[in-house]
Amino acid sequence: MDQHLKRNLLKTMVRIRLFEEKVEELFLSGVLPGFVHLYIGEEAIASGVCSALKKSDYITSTHRGHGHVLAKGARMDRMMAELYGKKTGYCKGKGGSMHIFDFNLGVLGANGVVGGGFPIAVGAGLSAKLKRTDEVCVCFFGDGSSNRGTFHESLNMAAAWNLPVIYVCENNRYAATTPTHTTTSVNNIADRATGYGIPGVIVDGNNVEEVYSAAKNAIERARNGEGPTLIECKTYRIKGHFVGDPERYRSKDEVKEMKALDPIERYIKGLFDENVCTIEEVEEIYQGIRNEVIIAIKFAEGSPNPEPEDALTDLYVMEEGIYYA
Amino acid sequence: MDQHLKRNLLKTMVRIRLFEEKVEELFLSGVLPGFVHLYIGEEAIASGVCSALKKSDYITSTHRGHGHVLAKGARMDRMMAELYGKKTGYCKGKGGSMHIFDFNLGVLGANGVVGGGFPIAVGAGLSAKLKRTDEVCVCFFGDGSSNRGTFHESLNMAAAWNLPVIYVCENNRYAATTPTHTTTSVNNIADRATGYGIPGVIVDGNNVEEVYSAAKNAIERARNGEGPTLIECKTYRIKGHFVGDPERYRSKDEVKEMKALDPIERYIKGLFDENVCTIEEVEEIYQGIRNEVIIAIKFAEGSPNPEPEDALTDLYVMEEGIYYA
Amino acid sequence: MREMNMAEATLEAMIEEMRQDDNVFVLGEDIASQGGIFGQFKGLADLFGKEKVIDTPISETAIMGAGLGAALTGMRPVIDMHYVDFIGVAMDEMCNQIAKIRYMSGGQVKAPLVVRAPDGLINSAAAQHSQNLEAWFVHTPGLKVVTPSNPADAKGLLKAAIRDDDPVLYLENKALFKRKGMVPDGEFIIPIGEAARVRDGKDVTIITYSIMVSKSLEAADILSKQEGIEIEVIDLRTLFPLDKEIIFSSIKKTGHLMIVHEACKIGGLGSEISAMVAEECIEYLDGPIIRLGQMHVPVPFSPIMEKYITPNVNDIVNGVKKMLINSFENIITT
Amino acid sequence: MREMNMAEATLEAMIEEMRQDDNVFVLGEDIASQGGIFGQFKGLADLFGKEKVIDTPISETAIMGAGLGAALTGMRPVIDMHYVDFIGVAMDEMCNQIAKIRYMSGGQVKAPLVVRAPDGLINSAAAQHSQNLEAWFVHTPGLKVVTPSNPADAKGLLKAAIRDDDPVLYLENKALFKRKGMVPDGEFIIPIGEAARVRDGKDVTIITYSIMVSKSLEAADILSKQEGIEIEVIDLRTLFPLDKEIIFSSIKKTGHLMIVHEACKIGGLGSEISAMVAEECIEYLDGPIIRLGQMHVPVPFSPIMEKYITPNVNDIVNGVKKMLINSFENIITT
Ligand SMILES: Cc1ncc(C[n+]2csc(CCOP(=O)(O)OP(=O)(O)O)c2C)c(N)n1
Ligand SMILES: Cc1ncc(C[n+]2csc(CCOP(=O)(O)OP(=O)(O)O)c2C)c(N)n1
Ligand SMILES: [Mg+2]
Ligand SMILES: [Mg+2]
């Protein structure tokens, strides 16, 4: 794997981490409206997968979407502005944390409905097939959402039609407060691939290079018209389900234990061992991103709020004759 | 297998066949309102499965439900009256062919929504578990309906909670006009059992004893608290999807070929070979059932129509204060 | 002008639009080999291939969601829902995804798709195959809703829906598929948002749509002949956005309003129209606003009961007569 | 009487009903270990065990369908839908199965179950977590719909819903869970179908429910103090079947009607109430019927925009003033 790519994988993970650490702080200090689900601890997945994608490829994201969108290349300032509910945000303040889109980067939306992205990804794959482009779509989803009917209908459809869709499960062991093994009848979500006649791959979701390789293979298959793949990334959510979660459902010890497997720390150590970068270079990466975060906050704070009446735009493309009350 | 049971299996199949042959005739002559989906050719499944059930066990049925309900022991006359839309019908003329219930026999309803029965069966299984009875619920479903999200959600739930539910797929190769292999990403519906960590069993759905044995095993497992089983019965729908279907989607040859595997003729031959019954005994069975059919038609034709205002009953149990317009 | 039925008219619209725009394609159950359960897609797969006229699995949720995904990425899907009843299976996709996605994205994306959904009563199809659900969708910001009452409108509205850059729900009454009528030759569009005054009258306004248009016209003829009462009949054609102008101007003329639809009366679209009038031009009314709609029960199987719960020509005739007796004038003078 | 908040009041109802009837149990996401995302099930699993307070997979379709199956076979499930928005995922189960099954069976079966669904705005939850969807369900024959505005009603209505042999949708506004109020001691029930006159007045009737009750009362106080206008406020509590009697009798007294809800105005429940009045007692009205409801857009994330689209106390005050100016009397005299 080339060194440039390795450094970029690190950068992407750090970008997500530092962005979210700040978001957590801001949220706790009461600056941000809405609610926020953090991706901290799972950065290797979005980073590994999106680094294997082209800009014109698509992704669908989830309620825990900051990481996906940033990894696909989104601007931090417009994301931050969206979390602030500002007019300069990606969705002009209409979406918020759970609904971030960047259509130019092929981000077909985070989604407040768990499992809402499965069939949208099928449609993106269908477009690619009908238009004979070589684009693929990655659908990120949680372990918990694999119990939704949309998972089944979509994987079957994508498989039956041989569509270029890659289903990436972020198995962080919990659906909100519910341990996944208590509600899910298989040990591995990847075991479900058999039910659709597609490959099911399990990777260490805290190992960014492993994720990257699995994604690369699946994306290649998809581009070659060989159909969908289900990749299960085993990971862990270090923070609560949402910022403010009392976390009654798991022990501090468990979290501590899993924290030791932090994908970023681990990767940095590996890069040192392989002599890919020095402490100084890593510090430089962090410093650069810290700056990006500061600039993003400045941008967000300095941006205008939407006008109240802005609420009445952006619903219909063809607004002629539409009334709102 | 005891001879009494064998004769009963035959009787049940013949009961379904003769009832439906008459229904087809009546429908084509314009006597019956609504539309009708015939089970002809698939009788071995309902007969085999329901013969392994107790009266207090539950079933959920489908749009192609006559066979299930008759096999569970329903009265032909009240079924016929329902198809006529008469007041004496099982549903007082409110349900029709796709919605036949017989609550006293544990029939939780045929269903006009394909795949609607999957979760209802989970609930019946849950009741049994909560009430600590040994009842089980059989959910009949078509190959086509296995692509609905309810299939997935329900099988996962039943498996995760270890409920006494048996999922019986009637794979007749078509979902209405669409060959199942064109829309379904696996060769066997039973392959999907892996995705739920439950046994998946494939049987010849035109062999009533094979169906019976598979059902018996699965029912025993369920009663013993060992959880759900998915049984796939390979069969074929001899008649059109509904009465009147132009059947543009398949060849006459195909139908002819499959007709040769008729479950009833085959079984009778087997019974002769095994000396379980004589031609005369079989003829007697037929004659008895022909009479039952005639009596059923008489009952239906002689029954009163509902009053128009009967439309305004049976919606709410507690009707006090309810208004209808 | 040529005579054709509604199924044929929509088929013509599909063919013209698919010829004209390569991005238009169709997704649904039993449409390719079968040509749609009401014959509305007959032969379409022969013309455009099974890649563009796609027989799907029985997966309404994924059909609808995939339609959205395709629309977001440059296609213009027409999704056939088989029966409007089955939108229940895909309600999240319809109302929480399709309807909201443009808004939630701050206007970044558009979802140009059409959901075709046969609705209404036909042949004792019973409770799960007979509903009229337009009220749910009119109450959902982000959707447009249209429904034709005759072949010409069927063609023109479907073409407009396919060309519209917003998601449009196209409701087509099952009992109308075989209804014949004259259809203009050549290219034409019925603009979304424009109702049609299909009968002029001075005494009472009837606002209606879909299958109830012909029943209202029949009732109007009877009332004219027997009572000399002249009914103005307005065929809404678009249910959201409503053509308020034509509605209000007719009420200002007649002073009497009846709304007729096949859907359940309670909470039906008639309520919205009545309330709009009671809010914005009540002072022009000379009597109560009468709504006719299905009684508040699921549709029973028996034809006798089905008929009983559904408004018919007689109900309209009698309703109008009663309305006029109850008009303020009479209340005051009696 | 004790003071408690709505979450606590519903918890008390649950405990009492589960103690009293072994067949009552709860099914939903994050209710056992978490006690419900709004704390409304806190500690319930400790009392009744995880067999009776069941944490489900994220499978709303199956949750709802399984609830129905359990209800048919002798249990009395309470189903927690997390957010009313997610009923979209289970709409077929709710409206085509649960609502219709008794009728389709000719009255053979009953489906005694409660669907609890938190609705409404809270903390900028945005488009997919903020809806008010009661209009869909009032339009669906076979359901009953209730929604409390205060802790006492919350308890009494939930108990009534659990004891009802028909399926009841219990809508609870998210912003009200922490709302405090006095709750009578001991066993009590608020009968389904009975509205409450929560303020007497002679000038204008406001019909409202859920979160908008307190806003209407606030507006009424302002109008009384500032303008001497006396508003009668009716808290519907049950949305189907509506308490027509109390509605009509109030209108006969005041001659002026405003309906206020948080749900979208277009096609909202306000339309039904307005239309009912315009049909059955329009002659008592002295002016237009005004509806206040959410503007016809999905709920935006930004608090500024969210606030803009939602009716508030000021809108009610101003609406009433405008209403009285537009009353027929004034139209005629000016
Ligand atoms: C259809 C639906 N049901 C329930 C919820 C509430 N909810 C939000 S996140 C969540 C847990 C999701 O678990 P998982 O898919 O494993 O993703 P994770 O949060 O672990 O990343 C739930 C139940 C929802 N948003 N949508
Ligand atoms: C949710 C839903 N989608 C579509 C239909 C229309 N429909 C009725 S039967 C049928 C085919 C069902 O195929 P399968 O499950 O294999 O059962 P079979 O008819 O072969 O017994 C379809 C598509 C329906 N009733 N419900
Ligand atoms: Mg998870
Ligand atoms: Mg089949």
Domain layout of chain B by residue ranges: 3-324
Contact B157 D68 (CB under 8 A): no
Is a pLDDT exceeding 80 seen at residue C329?
no
Distance, CA of A292 to chain centre: 19
Rounded CA separation C189/C177 (Å): 19
pLDDT in tens, D207-225: 999 999 999 999 999 999 9
Predicted confidence at residue C333, as pLDDT, reads: 45
Residues in chain B: 325
Which DSSP category does A72 fall into?
T
Rounded CA separation D143/D163 (Å): 15
Q: What percent of chain D has pLDDT over 90?
A: 96
Helix, strand, coil % (nearest 5) of chain A?
50, 10, 40
- Give the pLDDT band (50/70/90) at residue C334: very low
Q: Check if D62 has its Cβ closer than 6 Å to any atom of ligand 1.
A: no
Give A214→chain C minimum CA distance, Å: 25
Rounded CA separation D74/D70 (Å): 6
Q: Check if D86 has its Cβ closer than 6 Å to any atom of ligand 1.
A: yes
Q: Is A113 near chain B, with CB under 8 Å? A: no
Predicted confidence at residue A158, as pLDDT, reads: 98
Is a pLDDT exceeding 80 seen at residue D329?
no
Rounded CA separation C117/C219 (Å): 27
> Which of C 243-282 lie inside 8 A of D, CB atoms?
263-264, 266-272, 274-280, 282
Predicted confidence at residue A169, as pLDDT, reads: 98
Alpha-helical (H) ranges within chain C are 6-20, 44-48, 60-72, 91, 101-104, 134-138, 151-163, 212-227, 244-254, 269-280, 303-309, 313-325, 328-333
Instruction: Check if the beta carbon of residue D146 is closer than 8 Å to that of residue D137.
Output: no
- Give the pLDDT band (50/70/90) at residue D333: very low
Residuewise pLDDT in 10s, chain B (325 residues)? 899 999 999 999 999 999 999 999 999 999 999 999 999 999 999 999 999 999 999 999 999 999 999 999 999 999 999 999 999 999 999 999 999 999 999 999 999 999 999 999 999 999 999 999 999 999 999 999 999 999 999 999 999 999 999 999 999 999 999 999 999 999 999 999 999 999 999 999 999 999 999 999 999 999 999 999 999 999 999 999 999 999 999 999 999 999 999 999 999 999 999 999 999 999 999 999 999 999 999 999 999 999 999 999 999 999 889 999 8
Residue scoring higher pLDDT (C333 or B244): B244
Domains along chain D with CATH numbers: 2-183 (3.40.50.970), 196-333 (3.40.50.920)
Which is the closest atom of ligand 2 to the Cα of B37? 19
Label residue B252 exposed, middle or buried (CB < 10 Å: 0-12, 13-18, 19+).
exposed
Would you call A33 helix, strand, or coil by DSSP? coil
Q: Check if A240 has its Cβ closer than 6 Å to any atom of ligand 1.
A: no
Q: Identify all chain B residues contacting A157, using CB atoms and an 8 Å cutoff.
A: 147, 183
Q: What percent of chain D has pLDDT over 70?
A: 98
| Tokens coding A128 | 């690619």
Give A181→chain D minimum CA distance, Å: 10
Q: Is D308 near chain A, with CB under 8 Å? A: yes
pLDDT in tens, D279-297: 999 999 999 999 999 999 9
Q: Which of A60, A63, A114 has most ligand 1 atoms within 8 Å of CB, for mutation?
A: A114
pLDDT in tens, A158-192: 999 999 999 999 999 999 999 999 999 999 999 99
Residue-averaged pLDDT of chain C: 96
Distance (angstroms) between ligand 2 centre and the Cα of C137 equals: 25
Which is the closest atom of ligand 2 to the Cα of B113? 26
Q: Which CATH architecture has domain A3-324?
A: 3-Layer(aba) Sandwich (3.40)
Predicted confidence at residue C255, as pLDDT, reads: 97
Reported as type and span, the H/E element at residue A272 is helix A263-273
| Ligand 2 pocket, CB under 6 A | B 63-64, 112-115, 142-145, 170, 172, 174-176, 237, 241; C 29, 58, 60, 82, 86, 89
| Tokens coding D216 | 């209407």
pLDDT in tens, A72-112: 999 999 999 999 999 999 999 999 999 999 999 999 999 99
Residue-averaged pLDDT of chain A: 97
Contact B148 A151 (CB under 8 A): no
Q: Which residue from C121, C73, C126, C68 is spatially nearest to C92, judged by alpha carbons?
A: C68
Chain A, nearest residue to D292 by Cα: A325
Predicted confidence at residue A1, as pLDDT, reads: 86
Distance (angstroms) between ligand 4 centre and the Cα of B192 equals: 16
Distance (angstroms) between ligand 1 centre and the Cα of A141 equals: 10
Chain C, nearest residue to A89 by Cα: C106
Neighbouring-strand partners of residue C238: C146
Q: Which residue from D75, D110, A1, C279 is spatially nearest to D67, judged by alpha carbons?
A: D75
Give C20→chain D minimum CA distance, Å: 33
Reported as type and span, the H/E element at residue B149 is helix B149-160
- For the entire predicted model, the pTM comes to 0.98
CA distances in angstroms from B256 to B237, B252, B253, B270, C81, listed in the order given: 11, 6, 5, 21, 33
Distance (angstroms) between ligand 1 centre and the Cα of A178 equals: 10
Q: Which of B40, B61, B98, B114 has most ligand 2 atoms within 8 Å of CB, for mutation?
A: B114
Predicted confidence at residue D325, as pLDDT, reads: 87
Q: Identify all chain B residues contacting A187, using CB atoms and an 8 Å cutoff.
A: 197
Report the sign of the C-alpha dihedral through residues A86, A92, A98, A104, in that order: negative
Q: Is C334 near chain A, with CB under 8 Å? A: no
Which phi and psi angles does D31 have, rounded to 5°?
-105, -30
Q: Check if D29 has its Cβ closer than 6 Å to any atom of ligand 1.
A: yes
Q: Which of A63, A184, A238 has most ligand 1 atoms within 8 Å of CB, for mutation?
A: A63
Residues 6+ apart with CB under 8 A from D24: D14, D17, D18, D75, D76, D77, D78, D162
Which phi and psi angles does B231 have, rounded to 5°?
-110, 125
The ligand whose atoms approach the alpha carbon of A39 most closely is: 1
To which residue do tokens 């709409």 refer?
D91
Q: Identify all chain B residues contacting A184, using CB atoms and an 8 Å cutoff.
A: 156, 160
- Within 10 angstroms of residue D208's Cβ, the number of other Cβ atoms is 28
- Could you write out the DSSP letters of every residue in A173-231? SEETTEEGGGT-SSS-GGGGGGGGTS-EEEEETT-HHHHHHHHHHHHHHHHTT---EEE
Q: Identify all chain B residues contacting C30, using CB atoms and an 8 Å cutoff.
A: 176-178
Rounded CA separation B67/B53 (Å): 15
pLDDT in tens, A217-237: 999 999 999 999 999 999 999
* Terminal-to-terminal C-alpha distance of chain A: 58
Chain B, nearest residue to C264 by Cα: B325
Give D40→chain A minimum CA distance, Å: 15
Of B94-103, D190-199, D319-328, minimum mean pLDDT range: D319-328
Q: Identify all chain B residues contacting A191, using CB atoms and an 8 Å cutoff.
A: 194-195, 197
Q: Check if A69 has its Cβ closer than 6 Å to any atom of ligand 1.
A: no
Q: Is A150 near chain B, with CB under 8 Å? A: yes
Rounded CA separation C263/D215 (Å): 33
pLDDT in tens, D117-145: 999 999 999 999 999 999 999 999 999 99
Rounded CA separation B123/B137 (Å): 9
Rounded CA separation C68/A123 (Å): 7
Q: Which residue from D104, D101, D49, D51 is spatially nearest to D71, judged by alpha carbons?
A: D101
Return the partners of chain A (3 or more C-beta pairs < 8 Å).
B, C, D
Is a pLDDT exceeding 60 seen at residue D39?
yes
Residue owning the nearest CA to atom 18 of ligand 1: A142
The ligand whose atoms approach the alpha carbon of A36 most closely is: 1
- Within 10 angstroms of residue D221's Cβ, the number of other Cβ atoms is 14
Distance (angstroms) between ligand 4 centre and the Cα of B141 equals: 8
Contact B95 C126 (CB under 8 A): yes
Three-state SS string over chain D comes to CEEEEHHHHHHHHHHHHHHHCCCEEEEECCCCCCCCCCCCCCCHHHHHCCCCEEECCCCHHHHHHHHHHHHHCCCEEEEECCCHHHHHHHHHHHHHHHCCHHHHCCCCCCCCCEEEEEECCCCCCCHHHCCCCHHHHHCCCCCEEECCCCHHHHHHHHHHHHHCCCCEEEEEEHHHCCCEEEECCCCCCCCCCCCEEEECCCCEEEEECCHHHHHHHHHHHHHHHHHCCCEEEEECCEEECCCHHHHHHHHHHHCCEEEEEEEECCCCHHHHHHHHHHHHCHHHCCCCCEEEEECCCCCCCCHHHHHHHCCCHHHHHHHHHHHHHCCHHHHHHC
Give A97→chain B minimum CA distance, Å: 28
Neighbouring-strand partners of residue D206: D233, D258
- What is chain C's Cα-based Rg? 20
Instruction: Check if the beta carbon of residue A112 is closer than 8 Å to that of residue A98.
Output: yes
Q: Is D188 near chain C, with CB under 8 Å? A: no
Give D269→chain A minimum CA distance, Å: 14
Q: Check if D129 has its Cβ closer than 6 Å to any atom of ligand 1.
A: no
The ligand whose atoms approach the alpha carbon of D63 most closely is: 1
Contact C68 A157 (CB under 8 A): no
Is a pLDDT exceeding 70 seen at residue C71?
yes
Instruction: Check if the beta carbon of residue C165 is closer than 8 Å to that of residue A318.
Output: yes
- Give the pLDDT band (50/70/90) at residue D332: low
Q: Check if A143 has its Cβ closer than 6 Å to any atom of ligand 1.
A: yes
Contact C240 D266 (CB under 8 A): yes
Residues 6+ apart with CB under 8 A from D170: D114, D115, D116, D117, D146, D147, D157, D158, D161
Q: Is A141 near chain B, with CB under 8 Å? A: no
Q: Which residue from C247, C30, C236 is spatially nearest to C134, judged by alpha carbons?
A: C236
Nearest CB neighbour to C95, from listed D88, D271, D289? D88
Contact C91 D88 (CB under 8 A): yes
Chain B, nearest residue to C306 by Cα: B311
Residue type, B53: L
Label residue C202 exposed, middle or buried (CB < 10 Å: 0-12, 13-18, 19+).
middle
Rounded CA separation B254/B258 (Å): 6
Return the partners of chain C (3 or more C-beta pairs < 8 Å).
A, B, D
